């Protein structure tokens, strides 16, 4: 199962990295006559793979038909894309259909993976670094410093994280540039994710600081900072790895939640959360189930992480009160 989890994880990351090459269309381009268009069927013939262009039959019923009188062959490795269709011959190629604005769902899905995963990775790294530093200082110093930092981390830990994230984002202007939203969400998630990391690191450092190798480092002339960073914190590496695998999917879901309620990225920026806004209308989802593609992507990513964690042979350390 661990191999399956790693394979799924690697697949999601590879698709996100290769999005400009894998996307058959510009994720921001809207095809005005293809609102909620279904996926484009691919046919095989003597000349290779081709599609029939779709045409709108009824805008009210959102009904489309294939123009069987025309063929648009698939073009491979042209214009910096793996596969595409020459629009002068027909098209476009819609692997997962189109959204409410006629934008290619598949292209937006894989470009959205880049934003969502980058945000989760940076927020996870920030939470791990901050938590390791606070927990390491608390565990090594002990006494009042330990008491103060531990009580503060517990205060943040008992707060309902998603509601705090919503509140912190809500106090900011609703309309912000995408870059500002990215930085703001990264900082918010990191600030909410560090306490559980700090508690675990604090326990590990407190138990390791009296061991012989730590005393030997101090006797050899290493200062407190060097002893903590180079000798004690490495003992928490396994714990930090497990916490990273727990924080990554949590931050993916948090970004999706904030974007879904309109407090995340603007809808012009493809992320898994902003794409789920289109799936809010149940009646439209029944007619266009491909709109649930971002939910499936989130499920696959979370499943991959969980399979990897659960197959390591050790349970994650639970520190919640």
Q: Tally the domains of the chain.
A: 2
Q: Is the pLDDT of residue 161 over 80?
A: no
Q: Are residues 132 and 79 part of one domain?
A: no
Asked if 273 and 143 sit in the same domain, the reply is yes
**Is the pLDDT assigned to residue 135 strictly greater than 70?**
yes
Confidence check: pLDDT of 287 > 80: no
Which pLDDT score is estimated for 104?
A: 93
Task: Provide the terminal-to-terminal Cα distance of the chain, rounded to the nearest Å.
Answer: 30
Residue 317 lies in a domain: no
For residue 30, tell me if it sits in a domain.
no
Percent of the chain scored above 70 by pLDDT?
94
- Structure confidence at residue 114 as a pLDDT band (50, 70, 90): very high
pLDDT of residue 315: 40
In a domain, 71, yes or no: yes
Asked if 68 and 160 sit in the same domain, the reply is no
Residue 94's pLDDT band, with cuts at 50, 70 and 90, is: very high
Instruction: State which of 59, 93, 127 marks the end of a domain.
Output: 93
Q: Are 55 and 130 found together in one domain?
A: no
Assign 284 a pLDDT band (cuts: 50, 70, 90): low
pTM: 0.84
**Residue 175 shares a structural domain with residue 57:** no
Mean pLDDT for the stretch of residues 225-234: 84
Rounded Cα gap, residues 282 and 138, in angstroms: 50
Same domain, 232 and 261: yes
| Comparison of pLDDT for 293 and 283, the residue scoring more | 293
Residue, of 37 and 163, whose pLDDT is higher: 37
**Same domain flag for 131 and 210:** yes
Which CATH number goes with the domain that contains 276?
1.10.3720.10
In a domain, 206, yes or no: yes
Residue 317 pLDDT level (bands cut at 50, 70, 90): very low
Clarify whether residues 44 and 177 are in a common domain: no
Query: Cβ distance 89 to 70 under 8 Å?
Result: yes
Contacts of 109 (CB under 8 A, 6+ apart): 96, 270, 272, 275, 293, 294, 297
State the average pLDDT for the chain: 85
* Same domain as 240, residue 133: yes
Q: What percent of the chain has pLDDT over 90?
A: 30
Do residues 176 and 59 both lie within one domain? no
Q: Is residue 321 part of a domain?
A: no
Residue 16 covered by a domain: no
Whether residues 199 and 292 fall in one domain: yes
Mean pLDDT of the 117-134 span: 94
- Domain endpoint, select from 93, 115, 135: 93
> Residue range 232-247: average pLDDT?
88
The average pLDDT across 67-84 equals 89
pLDDT band of 137, cuts 50, 70, 90: very high
Query: Is 75 among the domain residues?
Result: yes
pLDDT surpassing 90 at residue 177:
no
pLDDT of residue 310: 65
pLDDT for position 281: 64
Residue 320 has pLDDT above 50, yes or no: no
List the strands of the sheet with 43-45, edge to edge.
Answer: 43-45, 48-51, 72-78, 81-85
pLDDT at 254: 87
Q: Measured between alpha carbons, how far is 70 from 88 in angstroms, rounded to an integer? A: 11
Do 68 and 152 belong to one domain? no
pLDDT bracket for residue 128 (50, 70, 90): very high
Domain that holds residue 73: 40-93
241 located within any domain: yes
Strand bridging mode 43-45 / 54-58: unpaired
Taking the C-alpha atoms of residue 288 and residue 119, their distance in angstroms, rounded to an integer, is 28
Confidence of residue 276 (pLDDT cuts 50, 70, 90): confident
Q: What is the pLDDT of residue 42?
A: 92
pLDDT for 282: 54
């Amino acid at each position: 199962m661990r191999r399956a989890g790693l394979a799924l994880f690697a697949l999601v990351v590879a698709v996100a990295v290769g999005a400009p090459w894998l996307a058959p269309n510009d994720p921001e381009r809207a095809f005005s006559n293809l609102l909620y268009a279904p996926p484009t069927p691919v046919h095989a013939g003597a000349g290779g793979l081709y599609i029939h262009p779709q045409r709108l039959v009824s805008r009210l019923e959102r009904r489309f038909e294939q123009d069987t009188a025309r063929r648009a062959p698939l073009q491979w490795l042209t214009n910096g894309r793996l596969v595409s269709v020459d629009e002068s011959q027909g098209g476009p190629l819609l692997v997962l259909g189109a959204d409410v604005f006629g934008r290619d769902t598949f292209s937006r899905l894989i470009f959205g993976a880049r934003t969502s995963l980058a945000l989760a990775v940076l927020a996870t790294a920030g939470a791990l670094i901050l938590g390791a530093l606070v927990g390491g200082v608390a565990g090594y110093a002990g006494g009042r410093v330990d008491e103060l930092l531990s009580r503060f981390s517990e205060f943040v830990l008992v707060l309902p994280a998603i509601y705090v994230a919503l509140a912190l984002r809500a106090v900011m202007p609703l309309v912000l540039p995408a870059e500002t939203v990215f930085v703001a969400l990264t900082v918010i998630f990191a600030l909410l994710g560090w306490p559980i990391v700090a508690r675990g690191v604090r326990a590990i450092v407190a138990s390791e600081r009296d061991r012989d190798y730590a005393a030997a480092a101090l006797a050899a002339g290493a200062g407190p900072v060097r002893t903590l960073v180079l000798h004690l914190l490495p003992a928490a590496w396994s714990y930090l790895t497990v916490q990273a695998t727990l924080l990554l999917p949590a931050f993916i879901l948090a970004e999706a939640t904030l974007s879904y309620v309109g407090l995340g990225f603007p809808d012009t920026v493809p992320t898994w959360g902003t794409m789920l806004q289109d799936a809010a209308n149940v009646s439209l989802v029944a007619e266009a189930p491909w709109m649930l593609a971002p939910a499936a992507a989130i499920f696959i990513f979370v499943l991959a992480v969980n399979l990897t964690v659960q197959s390591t042979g050790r349970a994650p350390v639970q520190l919640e009160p």
